[in-house]
Structure 1
C-alpha cells in the first residue's frame, strides 16, 4: 500500500509575500500562524539576516484539504511558459452558458486583484469553456 503524502506546490517568484497573498485571495487560502514569539510576519521577517528577509512566504487551505503553496524568491525572472500550472475549478459541474458566465465572473474578480486574462476558450464539440489567465507575476493558470 502506498504512503499518503502531503502535497506542496512551490512557486519561484520575485515577491513571495505579494504573490502568496494574491493566491490567498484567489483560492480562499490563509496565511499560516506566525512563528512563536512574533506578533506579525513582518516582525518575524525583520528578525532574519538581511539576505533572508522576504525570501519566502506560504499560504494554506484553511480546511487542510488542499496543498500548501510555497513562494520562494529567485533572482531570475520568468522566461517561458509554465511546465505545470494550476487549474482553479470555478465551473465544476456547470455546462454551456451557465459555466461560461460563472467563469467570466470569476475572471473579472481576479482581474480586479491584478490577474491578466490571456484568452477565453469557448466550449466546442469536445471541451467545455475555460479561461487562460496569468497571476500577478505572469504565471499561467486556468479557470476551469
Structure 2
C-alpha cells in the first residue's frame, strides 16, 4: 500500500520560507478553507490572533502530483546538518557542460532570492553527474541535481 507524504520544515518564518520554496519548485500556497477568500480571513474567523498568523504555512503542487510542503514555526534555530534533504531536479534532460551550466544559472537565481551556495560537486562518470549543494534562507540544505 502506498501512502501520501507531507514534507515538514521547522522554521522561524513560515510565510517567508514557503515563498522561497514556492518559487523554487513552482508550487502554490494552499488555498484557504471554503468560504474564505484569504488565509487572514479564515484565521481571524478561527480566532487566531494577528501575532499567530505566521505560525504555519503550506504549499501544494499545482499539478497534484508532488507532496504537500508544510512550514511550522519553532522557537529554536537549525542546529546541525540535515540528515534528509531534497534533491531538486533543475536540469532535466541535460548532460555534461550544458547540465552544469543550467545548475549554475539556477544556483545564481536562488542566491538572489536568499539561498546560500555551499559547494559544487563536479561530474564523476560513469554514475556521478555533478550537483550543487545549496541552503535555503533558514539554512536547510538541498541539492540542485
Supply the distance in 2 between the matched residues of 1:29 and 1:105 (Cα, whole angstroms): 20
Aligned length: 142
Partner of 2:138: 137
Supply the distance in 2 between the matched residues of 1:53 and 1:32 (Cα, whole angstroms): 15
Q: Does 1:49 align with 2:48?
A: yes
Supply the distance in 2 between the matched residues of 1:69 and 1:31 (Cα, whole angstroms): 9
TM-score in terms of structure 1 length: 0.91
Per-residue deviation, 1:93 = 3.1
Partner of 2:7: 9
Supply the distance in 1 between the matched residues of 2:140 and 2:107 (Cα, whole angstroms): 15
TM-score in terms of structure 2 length: 0.90
Partner of 2:120: 120
Supply the distance in 1 between the matched residues of 2:139 and 2:130 (Cα, whole angstroms): 22
2:21 aligned counterpart, secondary structure: helix
2:24 aligned counterpart, secondary structure: helix
* Structure 1, unpaired ranges of 5+: none
* Structure 2, unpaired ranges of 5+: none
Report the aligned-residue RMSD.
Answer: 1.6
Partner of 2:38: 40
Partner of 1:78: 78
Conservation of the 8 A alpha-carbon contact between 2:122 and 2:129: yes
Supply the distance in 2 between the matched residues of 1:53 and 1:17 (Cα, whole angstroms): 9
Per-residue deviation, 1:92 = 2.9
